Structure 1
Amino acid sequence: MPPSSPSSSVQAAREALAARLREIRLDAGLTKRELAVRCGWSEAKSSRIENARTAPSDDDLRAWCRACETEEQAPALVAANRQADSMYVQWKRLQRTGLKQLQKANLPLFGRTRHFKVYCSNVVPGFLQTPGYATALLRAIATFRGLPDDVDDAVTARMDRSAIIRKSGRTFAILLEETVLRYRLGDAGVMAGQLGSLLSAMDLPSVSLGIIPASAERIMWPIESFTVFDDERVDHEPLSASVKITAPDEVVQYLKAFGELHRHAVYGAEARALILKAIEALH
């Protein structure tokens, strides 16, 4: 199971990097003191890095690899180190100016991405949200976090960003847990409009929408919602943070999870039936 919080994920990433550096040193047959001499720093620094008490710089990692004659490993270690620094960004910092700017923050990423994989276990993904649903969701977020009230502007920005789903040259593989169809954000009219919009989205040539039935016998449990960009980056958003993942070995885990979740999903007529059933339950 993954660490229990984004902050523990960061610490786990740093500890994994430290453990790998220790393995490299031991494989090279060096003591901490010998490595320190070769790197030109104190033995205490080697110890702090190996015990994940001091985060190494990119230059530290390159020096470590040179000292151990494993320079080919430096690029991967540098990438892992940078991810540990940037993977966790507190929502309070991201949202300090309100929700509108947050909607615009990823526009360059969305613009250059050609293949999206989206799994949602809690809400309809932003790509497919109606203005009414987005308003209910973003207003709830703004209220919960005590943010400036720019919900109307944020909804407009989200709708503008979501227009990308209708542009050519991109694909969207989207998986929803059936429970997402039942969670009410907004009144029955808002939910009916949102569910109807999902039916329409299924007709878009760029969209593959699968629903994972609540009754499905599973080998892959429901996990946090996430988006994969061109199989190279994963973003997921727990309550207190935004987590960005770029380390290839971790991205692969999410791709594997997406593949397993895809096996549980139904498509086409079966998916439509689940959406229609959710619409009927509103009355």
Structure 2
Amino acid sequence: MSEQKAQETREVLGARLRGFRKDAGFGSGRAFAAATGWQESKVSRIENGKQNASEDDIRLWCQKTGHEADLSDLIATVRHIDELWLEWRRVLAAGTENRQKQSLPLYRKTKVFRIWDPATVWGTIQTAEYAQDVFQQVSEFHETPADTDAAVAKRLERQSYLYKGDRVFSVLLGEQALYSNHGGPEVMRGQLDRLMAVMALPRLSLGIVPRSAHLALWIGHAFSMFDDQLVMVETYSAEMSVTQPREIELYRKAFELHRRSAVYGQAARNLILAAIRHFDGMASDGERST
């Protein structure tokens, strides 16, 4: 999925550059290569999305084709390709604590948070025990350093932003998130109690999309939206940063459609209470079996 997205973006960029070349009177890649001092194969690879163009490549391309006015937009596209996907193995090479630390500056400058997670409780409202189980799974899955305690501490540090400043947090969870079992019944009961508590925060709204809700949009994947500037999407293999305004607008629209299916207030509390009863039953069954 990550390579497909990057490849599509490279191909769109290459097609645009090919148009610039032809409009400037360079009828072939060979002629343009001669004008730039490049190999003809480099021109072909860039135009066909087979090679990433560097920022210097873009500057020279715009200069030779008379498209200096498009330079800033094209540079933004190149940077978008470079940062579009960060492989988890590289991000987590020094452990999960470092990745959690990297989030803190983003939290400091963000004013409006929009969070959608259909299957897992959002990290910033996780309990330490729940987060510990999640981080252990991440370390084992990616075979990266197990610095779970340090990572949990950094994740809990993010929670301070729930209580200070004028930030607004709009959080949507799928009902499945209330039942996805991280850590066992006792940990889950603690996490569900935590959800009940954060619902009282004045600048946080917590909506739950019931399993049987009539959906305005298919469930899709989890994402976190920071103001209208950045959307973060996590997959098993990589983390995607969405910065293009057109794509950010699609995620904003997706969030609003999911919100139509959500319940709030007492209806949301009732769903959480039902999940608590479920894990109470699991704990009782476990005690009887022992």
TM-score normalised per structure 1: 0.90
SS at match of 1:174: strand
Q: 1:265 aligns with which of 254, 262, 271?
A: 262
| CA offset digits 1:180-235 (Å, max 9, x no partner) | 11111112121111111111111111111111111122231112211111111111
How far apart, in 2, do the equivalents of 1:134 and 1:200 lie?
Answer: 17
3-state SS of 2:249 partner? helix
1:174 equivalenced with 2:144 (yes/no): no
- Name the amino acid aligned to 2:7: Q
Unmatched tracts of structure 2, length 5 or more: 282-290
1:255 equivalent in structure 2 = 252
CA distance in 2, matches of 1:157, 1:42: 49
What is the CA–CA distance in structure 2 between the aligned matches of 1:130 and 1:83, rounded to whole Å? 34
Kept after mapping to 2: 8 A contact 1:127/1:162: yes
Question: What does the per-residue CA deviation read over 1:94-147, in whole Å, with 9 as the maximum and x for residues that have no partner?
Answer: 212222222112211111111111111231111110111111211222223333
8 Å contact kept, 2:58–2:71: yes
Task: Report what 1:21 is aligned to.
Answer: 17
Of residues 144, 147, 155 in structure 2, which corresponds to 1:150?
147
Deviates more, 1:163-172 or 1:11-20: 11-20
Deviations 1:13-61 (A, max 9, x none): 2122212323444555642455445545454332221011221111222
Aligned length in residues: 279
Q: Note the residue ranges of structure 1 that are not aligned, 5 or more in a row.
A: none
Distance 2:253 2:58 in 1: 29
TM-score, normalised to structure 2, is 0.88
- Largest Rg, 1 or 2: 2
Q: Is the Cα contact below 8 Å between 1:104 and 1:161 reproduced in 2? A: no
More moved, 230-239 vs 161-170? 161-170
Residues in 2 aligned to 1:41 and 1:143: alpha-carbon distance in whole angstroms: 46
Aligned to 1:122: 119
Q: 1:10 aligns with which of 2, 6, 10?
A: 6
Deviations 1:160-182 (A, max 9, x none): 12221111221111111111111
Residue in structure 1 matched with residue 216 of structure 2 by the alignment: 219
Say which SS state the counterpart of residue 66 (structure 2) adopts.
coil
Cross-structure match for 1:205 = 202
1:83 aligns with 2:80: yes
Contact 1:232 1:248 in 2 (8 A): yes
- Say which is worse superposed, 245-254 or 180-189, in terms of deviation: 245-254
> Are 1:126 and 1:162, in contact at CA under 8 Å, matched by a contact in 2?
no
CA contact (8 A) 1:168 1:206 kept: no
Match for residue 55 of structure 1 among 46, 52, 57:
52
1:239 match: secondary structure:
coil
State the identity %.
Answer: 39
Answer whether contact 1:128 1:197 (CA < 8 A) is retained: yes
User: Structure 1 CA distance, aligned partners of 2:45 and 2:174?
Assistant: 44
Query: Do 2:206 and 2:264's aligned partners in 1 also have CA atoms closer than 8 Å?
Result: yes
The aligned counterpart of 1:244 is 241
SS at structure 2 position matched to 1:175: strand
